[in-house]
Structure 1
Amino acid sequence: MALSREEISARYGAALFGYCQDTNSLDNVYGELQVLKSAVLDNPRLSEVLSSPVYSIEEKKQLLKNISADFSQEVQQFLELLLDYGRFAVLPDIVDQFNMRYNKLNNIAFGKVISAVKLDDDQLQKLGQAYAKKYNLKELKLTNQVNPSIIGGVILEVEDYIIDGSVKTKLKKIRAQLVENI
């Protein structure tokens, strides 16, 4: 039975993460994987060539050697492993799985702020720092989504948590109380 893309990425991501923990190379490999993922996503042809049966394994290994020359030994060996097992097309998903484990270990979370107007980077950073401090996170990285229908305030979504401080929601609560008291 063939493994799904999710199962493959979860297994390889976990294996790479465990190996890097054992070799004390987590931070270095994390940085290199971000560069690698970006390069693969910006150049989809690269993944196609390294996954294609048209090219010989020797040609693929030479191309991979040229690409990964500046990377650590851990990343080079991992890329060779992916090539040998025909898993190179799953690399971005594997990096995502690695990142998930890395962020959890380092107490880093990601979230979204929904606001009526666009927030600048300083506002996002201050909001992220306040939430991170309150919930014992090392860091919270936020993105901003604009939704004028919330009127004012913000809605903060971090993983499974939602903090709704929007004016729209507060007005709904006031209206419900008024209707209830009539």
Structure 2
Amino acid sequence: MKVGIISTRYAKALLAYASNHEVENRVFNFLWNLQSNFKGLPQLQQVLESPMISNKEKYNLLLTASQQKDGEDPRDCKEYIRFLKLVLIQHREAYLHFICLRYIDLYRRSKNIGIGFLTTAVSVDKETEKKITKASSKLLHLEMRIFSIVDPSIEGGFIFDFEGYRLDASVATRLNRIKQQFIDKNRRIV
């Protein structure tokens, strides 16, 4: 079977099951953390695909990877537990990252939620983040969730990625454009 078909089936089933039990938001948060760990730790995928590691160890690893910073424990959500056990029993752990991404996408569409990433050279205070969230929500007619990323390499300004669009007001990009203009001008002279 194709990866997209499998991940979509599992994600749709999980969303329907979680919605029936009114825990879709909690499951979303757990899967968001899990997919973040997949992105940040490529070894996680390798460990899950390893036949040398038992399902019990994989299960405990997935629970740890799903743990939230605020302390909400995935062990308290029986729907999420059942989902993880089903994935491991059916040997679909290789598709788990794609299932997470598909669930997040389906959840966002069902709840009319947009996700944006604000990249700045220094950390942004909560008030500024709230203003950006409010402005983007009003513009896009979506409930926006903004995630701040600090990247000193942009040297100043900001980059705002949201719903397939990018607003790049970084100093680094502006300097690169000016540099490219000088290079192009010098090529015409020579």
SS of equivalent to 1:126: helix
The amino acid across from 2:59 in the alignment is L
In structure 2, the partner of 1:60 is 55
- The one of 10, 14, 33 aligned to 2:8: 10
Percent identity between the two aligned chains: 25
For 1:107, the aligned partner's letter is N
- Shift, 1:96, TM fit: 1.6
The answer for the alignment partner of 1:158 in structure 2 is 162
Aligned counterparts of 1:103 and 1:121: Cα–Cα separation in 2: 26
After TM superposition, give the deviation of residue 113 of structure 1 in Å. 5.3
- 1:32-57 alpha-carbon deviations (Å, 9 max, x no partner): 33344456665835862x433335xx
Q: Which runs of 5+ in 2 are unaligned?
A: 64-73, 175-190
1:83 Cα deviation from its structure 2 partner: 0.9
Contact kept in structure 2, 1:114 and 1:154, CA below 8 Å: yes
Q: Match for 2:132: what amino acid?
A: L
1-structure distance, mates of 2:34, 2:23: 16
- Indicate yes or no: 2:91 matched with 1:93: no
Deviation of 1:16 (Å)? 0.8
CA shift, 1:133, in A, is: 2.1
> Superposition pairs for residues 124-163 of structure 1, below 5 Å?
124-141=129-146, 143=148, 157-161=161-165
Correspondence for 1:30:
28
Q: Distance in 2 between matches of 1:22 and 1:120?
A: 38
Instruction: For residue 11 of structure 1, report the CA deviation from its aligned partner.
Output: 2.1
**Counterpart amino acid of 1:64?**
Y
Distance change >3 Å, CA 24–CA 88, structure 1 → 2: same
**1:3 counterpart letter in structure 2:** K
Structure 1 distance, partners of 2:147, 2:99, is 23
Shift of 1:125: 3.0
Counterpart position of 1:178: none
TM-score (norm 2): 0.60
Cα RMSD of the aligned pairs, angstroms, is 4.1
Task: Tell which structure's C-alpha radius of gyration is larger.
Answer: 1
What's 2:43 paired with?
A: 44
SS of the residue 2:75 aligns to = coil
Equivalent pairs, count:
161
Query: Match of 2:133, as an amino acid?
Result: G
